[in-house]
Structure 1
Amino acid sequence: MGGLGKMKKWMSITLVSILAAAMLSACGSDKNEGNNAGGAAGEEKVLIMGTSADYPPYEDIDVATNEIVGFDVDIANYIGDKLGYKIEVQNLDFDGLLAAMSSDKVDFVMAGMTPTPERKKNAEFTDIYFDAKNTIVTKKGSGFKSLEELAGKKVGVQLGSIQESAATDAGNLEVVPLGKIPEIIQEIKSGRLDAAIIEDTVATGYVAANDDLEFNTIPNEGESGSAIAFPKDSKLVKDFNDVLKEMKDSGKMDELVKKWFEKK
């Protein structure tokens, strides 16, 4: 009987181990909708937002706190609060944001990004939440007001941006893509670039901080406006759109626009 008892005990331990493994497998998170989004009851749900924190006032690094702040961050946090998610922000180069999302390093991308047809091939976008215009940034007194006037000039753009596409499509510019907006500004100030194409809301801040620069607004051609990017077929697109609509209807979006784009 001793041998039979040991066998029963061994079978009991084995059965418990199998059941425990099955339960752990069943409780795995649903990767499709964000980190910890499918976690156990009471567990904090987290979404990782990919951005490029060199694009104030959309996103920038607060030198006092070393935290990423800005218009996009405030919108994301507001939506997260409404939907029950904590938003964690990850700083990456702009041209690598959609690739990071495709490889599941971030759950969504928010970086003043325009939903161009090319980007829509690999991502799904929310409705436009803010629209802006492009500008030509130059040294003060240069006076460039159109892409035609920049023919043959060295023009800086942010790598992977809609401004890079606009400059390239012009066909007669020497386009110089750079990773960060501050690099572009420095290249203009040093004389290594003749001009840059930068969104007006962003150009305003940099020109205000550099009294040797100026900018002139140029008409948008093609796609414009900023939207939030998600992986294809993400269920979160509708949820985010619903909150974006509520923000516009309630005046919350206007409040944030005034906070970030009309600062004195």
Structure 2
Amino acid sequence: MRRILSGIAAAIVAVTLILPLQAKAEDAKSLLDQILERGALRVGTTGDYPPYSELDQTSNTYKGYEIDVVTQLAADLGVKVEFVPTTWETLAAGIQAGKYDVAASGITLTLERLKSIGFSAAYLDSPLVPLVQSKDGAKYAAWRDLDKEGIRIAVQSGTSAEESAKKNFTKAEIVPIVAPALDYQELLAGKVDAAITDTVFIKKALSQYSDKLVAVDPTHAIEGQPNAMMTVRDDYVWRNWLDTWVAMKAQSGFFDALFAKWIAGS
């Protein structure tokens, strides 16, 4: 009887050890496997940042450089793409809460963000430079000339531009602008002295307001801005697949073609 009880006790111990391991294995299932099983890639995007991500209010469809990136990503995964509306302020929170698998909207990979959130390999660089009104262009030879008491600089709230501006400008006042309002619109309205954003977005603004706005020393950026897809941080199986996909697409000329389509001709 003692031997039987010992056997039962051993079995109970074994089961109690196995069950947590099985639960842990379930919890540890890669996002890659989850996406394939689900049959859909969920993408968080802001829809307010052309030429990266723009929502057509009439058709309720998205278009842009990043939209083409994730659409091709889903196709290569063999799943459909599902867009999830989000905001710049809640991009990372949406990933962490499992609302979407990746976020793509012209998002900058930064060392600070990498402390709490993951990114794919970068596939585009669009450095930060300031815009000022044309009448003020001669006042500023370099971006550092804007860092003075009394100068007000607009940045999009929740973006890497806001993070960079607060780090690099210690005297000027940084003014966060909440979407759908845009930083350069505040500049056009005369509410601020400058607006800081990336060179791609600036190109779009200058194409519309070439007689009213000018970039300050665009060949010497405030900081580089490597763009990538935001995703979970510690899933190395998924990150490896995603990084490999970026590398293979870069080699094939995919990103060059998108640059020509959405940015070079802007």
Shift of 1:137: 1.3
Shift of residue 70 of structure 1?
0.6
Identity percentage over the alignment?
24
Q: Which residue of 2 aligns with 1:161?
A: 159
Give the 3 Å change call, closer, same or farther, for CA 134–181 of structure 1 in structure 2: farther
Task: Find out whether 1:225 has 2:221 as its counterpart.
Answer: no
CA contact (8 A) 1:135 1:215 kept: yes
The alpha carbon displacement at 1:197 in A equals 0.3
Cα distance, 1:58–1:145 mapped onto 2, change above 3 Å: farther
Task: Decide whether aligned partners of structure 1 residues 166 and 145 sit closer, same or farther in structure 2, where only a CA change above 3 A counts.
Answer: farther
Note closer, same or farther for the CA distance 1:243–1:226 as it changes in structure 2 (3 Å cut).
same
Q: 1: CA distance between counterparts of 2:28 and 2:41?
A: 12
CA distance in 1, matches of 2:78, 2:141: 46
Q: Deviations over 1:186-241 (max 9, x none)?
A: 21111111111010101111221224222232634555311111112223222221
Q: Name which of structure 1's ranges 189-198 and 216-225 shifts more when overlaid on structure 2.
A: 216-225
Q: Which structure carries more relative contact order (alpha carbon 8 Å, separation 6+)?
A: 2
- Structure 1 residues 237 and 145, CA gap change in structure 2 (3 angstroms): farther
Q: Is the 8 A contact 2:128 2:222 kept in 1?
A: no
Structure 1 equivalent of residue 238 of structure 2? 236
Matched AA of 2:164: A
Aligned counterpart, 1:20? none
CA distance in 1, matches of 2:190, 2:222: 28
Matched, 1:101 2:95: yes
Is this contact kept in 1: 2:129–2:222, CA < 8 A? no
Listed one character per residue, the Cα deviations across residues 83-115 of structure 1 (whole Å, up to 9, x for unaligned) are: 112121222221210011111112111122222
Quote the Cα distance in structure 2 between the aligned partners of 1:229 and 1:204: 24
Q: TM-score, normalised by structure 1?
A: 0.79
Unaligned runs of 5+ in 2: 1-25
Q: CA RMSD in A?
A: 2.4
Q: Structure 1: which amino acid aligns with 2:118? A: E
In the alignment, which residue of structure 2 is the partner of 1:212?
212
Name the aligned partner's letter for residue 196 of structure 1: A
- Please tell me whether the aligned partners of residues 128 and 223 of structure 2 are also in contact (alpha carbons under 8 angstroms): no
- Matched pairs, number: 233
1:81-100 map, 5 Å: 81-100=75-94
Q: Match for 1:127: what amino acid?
A: A
Structure 1 unaligned regions, length at least 5: 1-27
- TM-score if structure 2 supplies the norm length? 0.79
Letter in 2 for 1:69: K
